[in-house]
Amino acid sequence: MRIGIVCPYSWDVPGGVQFHIRDLAEYFLRLGHEVSVLAPADDDTPLPPYVVSAGRAVPVPYNGSVARLNFGFLSAARVRRWLHEGAFDVVHIHEPTSPSLGLLTCWAASGPIVATFHTSNPRSRAMIAAYAILQAALEKISARIAVSEYARRTLVEHLGGDAVVIPNGVDVDFFAEAEPKPEWQGDTIGFIGRIDEPRKGLPVLMRALPRILAARPGARLLVAGRGDEEAAVEDLPKELRSRVEFLGMISDEDKARLLRSVDLYVAPNTGGESFGIILVEAMSAGAPVLASDLDAFVQVLDQGEAGEVFTNEDADALAEAAVRLLEDPARRIRLRERGSAHVRRFDWSTVGADILSVYETVTAGAAAVAADERTTGLRARFGLARD
**What is 326-339 written as a DSSP string?**
HT-HHHHHHHHHHH
**What is 282-318 written as a DSSP string?**
HHHTT--EEEE--HHHHHHTTTTTSSEEE-TT-HHHH
Q: Lowest mean pLDDT: which of 154-163, 212-221, 252-261, 366-375?
A: 366-375
The mean pLDDT value for 367-386 works out to 55
CB-based contact 165:272 (threshold 8 Å): no
Question: Domains of the chain: which residue ranges?
Answer: 2-169+347-378, 172-345
Q: Lowest mean pLDDT: which of 227-241, 301-315, 359-373?
A: 359-373
Residue 91: strand pairing partners: 4, 113
The mean pLDDT value for 15-22 works out to 91
φ and ψ at residue 192, rounded to 5 degrees = -130, 125
The band of 378, judged by pLDDT with boundaries at 50, 70 and 90, is: very low
Q: Per-residue pLDDT for 133 more than 80?
A: no
Q: Per-residue pLDDT for 134 more than 90?
A: no
Residue 290: strand pairing partners: 266, 308
Q: What CA–CA distance (Å, rounded) separates 262 from 182?
A: 10
pLDDT at 120: 75
pLDDT at 144: 96
Summarised one tens digit per residue, pLDDT across range 163-175 is 999 999 999 999 9
Same fold? 2-169+347-378, 172-345: yes
The band of 119, judged by pLDDT with boundaries at 50, 70 and 90, is: confident
CB-based contact 228:195 (threshold 8 Å): yes
Q: How far apart are the first and last CA of the chain?
A: 33
Q: How far is CA 4 from the centre of its chain?
A: 18
Cβ neighbours, 10 Å, residue 246:
16
* CA proximity to 95, closest of 144, 37, 166: 144
Q: How many residues does the chain have?
A: 387
CATH fold of 172-345 reads: Rossmann fold (3.40.50)
The band of 266, judged by pLDDT with boundaries at 50, 70 and 90, is: very high
> Homologous superfamily of 2-169+347-378 in CATH?
Glycogen Phosphorylase B; (3.40.50.2000)
* CA proximity to 93, closest of 192, 153, 24: 24
